[in-house]
Chain A
Amino acid sequence: MRRYRFVLVRPFQLIPVLFGISVITFVLVRLIPGDPARILLGTRATPTAIANIRAQYGLDEPIWVQYLYFLKNLAAGEMGKSTLYKVDTLKLIVTRIEPTLALVVAGVVLALVIAVPFAAISARRQGTAADHAIRIVSTAGIGFPSFWLGAMLIILFAVRLDWLPVSGYGDSLGDKLLHLILPGLTIALSLSAVITRSLRAGMIAGLSSDVAVAARARGMPESVVFWRHVVPNALVPTVNLLAINVGWLIGGTVVVESVFAVPGLGQLMVRGIFSRDYMVVQGVALTFAVATVLINFLADVVTVALDPRVEL
């Protein structure tokens, strides 16, 4: 259990990291050109009305005073009132977090479902037609942008074949899952390409490693050699690669959510940016940052679980 002690220690070490992230997002949002009050009231607003709104949302204060208000609100469980939605940003985020989370999880699960068998076939039949075919599909997965890929999937599976819904996010669980397939697949196709390449390389190295030769010399069948002695060792470096990509993916859901009209954080972010809704933008950015930090923490836990040599 000593190896897992970092699970207790690490959250405290993350406090300064999160503090730094909050400062950066807070300042960056305010660097976006445009005045939220003016955008909220439209072009014909009087200067008095604008000044009122600015005072109401605290926008007339110096930036560091605004930041202190932000911290004070955060301590009280609030992220500041959205100028666009007129409710607290934290409430908005809580209602929007589920679709995004579900989308990311669907993307990662589908990516693994694709990548592990693909990598296994590729590694065990290195240089064959199957290996080349998988390489081509993988390269294509990396090459096509997700907005194009998503649109193509909609045309094929939703419009032509009419198997799956075009867009949106359902109400019941089954309906939600159905709605998640196409956006999840869009994410998975590019994500799985990266994972397949990494896993394949690790598996090929593992198949000719001393561990594999020694296992064969003990009379282990090739399937045992592969799944018990090669794959677990190849997974270790892939976990970190996956964590890096998922961190990047969370920001990337903005595009996929737009294409499939999934009412998640990405969509909220886009609306927030267009209306200079500072509270929403910084709130969502902070949420993304926290999620990325948590995913890397999770990856560390998984790495420790997979590899007994790792001490953190």
Chain B
Amino acid sequence: MIVAEDLPPGAATAPDTPVLSVQGLAVSVRADGAERPLVEDLSFTLRRGETLAIAGESGSGKSITSLAIMGLLPPPAVRASAGRVMFGAKDLLRLGEAGMRRIRGDRIAMIFQEPMTSLNPVMTIGAQLIEALREHEAISRAEARALALAALKSVRIAQPERRLDQYPHELSGGMRQRVMIAMALALKPDVLIADEPTTALDVTVQREVLDLLRDLQRDMGTAIILITHDMGVVAEMAERVIVMRGGRMVEQGTVGQIFGAPREAYTRELLAAVPRMGDGARRPGLSAPETTPPLVARLDRVDVRFDIRGGFLGRVTHRVHAVERVSFDIRAGETFALVGESGCGKSTIARAIAGLVPHEGHLEVAGRPLKGLDAAGRKAIRRQVQIVFQDPMAALDPRMRAGEAVAEPLVIHGIGTEAERRARAADLFARVGLPPEAVERYPHEFSGGQRQRICIARALALNPRLIICDESTSALDVSVQARVLDLLEALKREFGIAYLFISHDMAVVENIADRLAVMYLGQIVEMGTRAQIFGNPRHPYTRRLIEAVPVPDPAHVRPPGPRLSGEVPSPIHPVGRGPQRLVLRDVGGGHLVAADAVAEGVAA
């Protein structure tokens, strides 16, 4: 095939002309000699400069669609089996590798979910940018370097000259995603495909990246296909929306129509499952019990520090101050949430409570201090505290049947006979909503939500007083997440368990927590009941976190706040020094806020 030289920028000049049109696209995978469809009969058009969101849950075919447009379906098993992808006058499905290569990165660019793994770790940022530029433009190395620098400046990255000579691991996640965006937009493409571009980022960083994408789109007139599972991101970014499920388009419409008057039942279900800020307020609060429920865990000025050794003799020169002077109580039957961004120390606290990392200060679980316990004492404490992790696939032994996994804690603690343990496992399966025959199956035979139910059943096996949910629902689809959250709530009422719920998702926390603490750099900046924190957030960082959450309502107008940028300071300090300690002040009814002087420092 002869590839025409006039690539499409000249082909479409009017603002409303479609820049990309997908017609009857089908993608199938060949497995065990049979073709199985991944995407069927998908048609849509993308107009110049608009943002089209493709929304759907895992397995909906949204990412496969983007790879099909780019001609990057993993050969030979997956292929586009029917339809056309018209880019100007060209059908991309029939363009061939050489022709596609000229379009990829030049006319149609793509950014991915994982900025951590999408950049080559052994090449400098500059080398990767220059390589991409020189692949498409006949320019010298020096010219390419100048263009690369301009691209980094356009994504508002701090110290762009320095970044050119840095390696990816020297940059934070947010900066790496900026670099990916700079690479994608350096050649001013007509179309940008953004596949879950902010899913791996912290909520405030997500806010910055979304703002950046919108600004660049306005300047360059690039059309964006935004692939996401997050309806909040859809509402904020998109003009038109396609909802996909199981490889098929369910519904297509303007963002106002999809959110305001969804036609299809699935769209309504999807929207209903999205956790929204404010839903929690409508939930009946804890009915004030006559007697204070017993303490399950108590932390009093707990520190967790990790040594960094260096120098000639390997002495401790620096320490990571992961958790600094943290104090809180968890009482039976309550859900206590810890929120904050990555690296704030919330998971480290969970590990300290489970006795998995050493701590300083006073930490007691079920009335017994964790310090100075012998092996038997530690084992006894662990019966009281169980953890449900973020990734259930990684938390389950792939060679162990689900029933065995759930019964294993009983085996470890020598509880019951073989038959009793099996009965207990069957009972727990019923309790978490899994079919009884599932005990015989292996983890890979379950869906993500079912796997998390197995993990919850395993955590319940020992009748613990406290279950730590460390981002337990973050990896799940929203509809599955909603059901798992309901299950956790029901189990709490039934067994009187307390949860330590760790999450970066303010909307989920607002829905499930009774009380919560907001953490920043290892310290608590604000703590109180759900109503106190969400109804009257006092600390600027808390407000920043709440405001950064994308709202699944296209009519929502975000209050114009300062554009955020900058990096979180390091929690690493030389030996003998440490972070400035925050002093918490009670502003009424047990609502604790870090004292103002320090608060200003955090907000700056």
Q: Which residues of A contact B (CB under 8 A)?
A: 9, 12, 208-211, 213-222, 224, 228-229, 232-233, 236, 306-309
Contact = CB atoms under 8 A, between A and B. Distances in A.
B72 A233 contact: no
Interface stretch (B4-12, B97-105, B459-467): B97-105
A217 B117 contact: no
A217 B120 CA distance: 13
B132 A211 contact: no
Contact of B104 (A209, A211, A217): A217
B131 A228 contact: yes
Contacts of B105: 217-220
Interface stretch (B87-95, B106-114, B368-376, B498-506): B106-114
Contact of B110 (A217, A222, A228, A236): A217
A228 B106 contact: no
Contacts of A221: 101, 135
B110 A308 contact: no
Interface string B566-592: 000000000000000000000000000
B118 interface: yes
A309 to B, nearest CB: 5
B416 to A, nearest CB: 43
B363 interface: no
Given A213-B72, A218-B109, 20 more contacts: A209-B117, A210-B118, A211-B120, A214-B110, A214-B118, A214-B119, A216-B70, A217-B105, A218-B104, A218-B184, A219-B101, A219-B102, A219-B103, A219-B104, A219-B106, A220-B105, A232-B123, A306-B122, A308-B121, A309-B121
A307 B121 contact: yes
Contacts of B117: 209-211
Contact of B135 (A208, A220, A233): A220
B104 A210 contact: no
Contacts of A222: 97
A216 B123 contact: no
Nearest to B183: A218
Nearest to A220: B135
Given A208-B74, A220-B135, A309 B169 contact: yes
B167 interface: yes
B312 to A, nearest CB: 6
Interface residues of B, number: 31
B318 interface: no
A220 B183 CA distance: 13
A217 B101 CA distance: 8
A308 B70 contact: no
B136 interface: yes
Contacts of A12: 312
A306 B120 CA distance: 12
A224 B131 contact: yes
B81 to A, nearest CB: 21
B180 interface: yes
Contacts of B167: 308-309
Contact of A217 (B72, B123, B131): B72
16 contacts: A210-B117, A211-B121, A214-B112, A216-B104, A217-B70, A217-B110, A218-B104, A218-B105, A218-B109, A218-B184, A219-B103, A219-B106, A220-B101, A224-B135, A233-B120, A309-B169
A273 B104 CA distance: 66
Given A9-B312, A217-B109, A218-B105, A211 B72 contact: no
Contacts of B122: 232-233, 236, 306-308
Given A221-B101, A308-B169, A213 B112 contact: yes
Most buried by B among A209, A217, A306: A217
A236 B120 CA distance: 13
B132 A216 contact: no
Contact of A216 (B72, B106, B119, B136): B72
Interface of B: 70, 72, 74, 97, 101-106, 109-110, 112, 114, 117-123, 131-132, 135-136, 167, 169, 180, 183-184, 312
Nearest to A215: B120
B50 to A, nearest CB: 21
B63 to A, nearest CB: 11
A214 B135 contact: no
A9 B119 CA distance: 32
Nearest to B101: A219
B121 A233 contact: yes
A291 B480 CA distance: 59
A221 B97 CA distance: 9
Contacts of A219: 101-106, 132, 135-136
Contacts of A224: 131, 135
Nearest to B70: A217
A57 B112 CA distance: 73
Contacts of B119: 211, 214
Contacts of A309: 121, 167, 169
A12 B122 CA distance: 29
A210 B195 CA distance: 12
Contacts of B183: 218
A216 B100 CA distance: 10
A306 to B, nearest CB: 7
A307 B167 CA distance: 10
Contact of A228 (B101, B103, B109, B123): B123
Contacts of A232: 120, 122-123
B179 to A, nearest CB: 11
B159 to A, nearest CB: 18
Contacts of B102: 219
A54 B230 CA distance: 86
Most buried by B among A9, A210, A214, A221: A214
Best-buried of A12, A215, A222, A228 by chain B (most CB within 10 Å)? A215
Nearest to A236: B122
Contacts of A215: 120
Nearest to A216: B72
A150 B219 CA distance: 69
A210 B104 CA distance: 16
A12 B121 CA distance: 31
A123 B469 CA distance: 41
Nearest to B314: A13
Contacts of B109: 217-218
Nearest to B195: A217
Nearest to B170: A308
Contacts of A220: 101, 105, 131-132, 135
A203 B9 CA distance: 37
Contacts of A216: 70, 72, 104
Please list the 4 inter-chain residue pairs (A to B) with the smallest Cβ-Cβ separation, ordered nearest first: A219-B105, A218-B105, A219-B104, A214-B118
Nearest to B116: A210
A295 B94 CA distance: 52
A257 B169 CA distance: 46
A209 B74 CA distance: 11
Which among B131, B180, B184 has the greatest number of chain A C-beta atoms within 10 A? Answer: B131
A214 B121 CA distance: 13
A37 to B, nearest CB: 46
Nearest to A213: B72
Contacts of B110: 214, 217
Given A213-B112, A218-B109, A219-B135, A229 B120 contact: yes
B311 to A, nearest CB: 9
Contacts of B97: 222
B3 to A, nearest CB: 13
Taking each of B123, B167, B183, which has the highest tally of chain A beta carbons within 10 Å of its own beta carbon? B123
A15 to B, nearest CB: 13
B504 to A, nearest CB: 22
Contacts of B112: 210, 213-214, 217
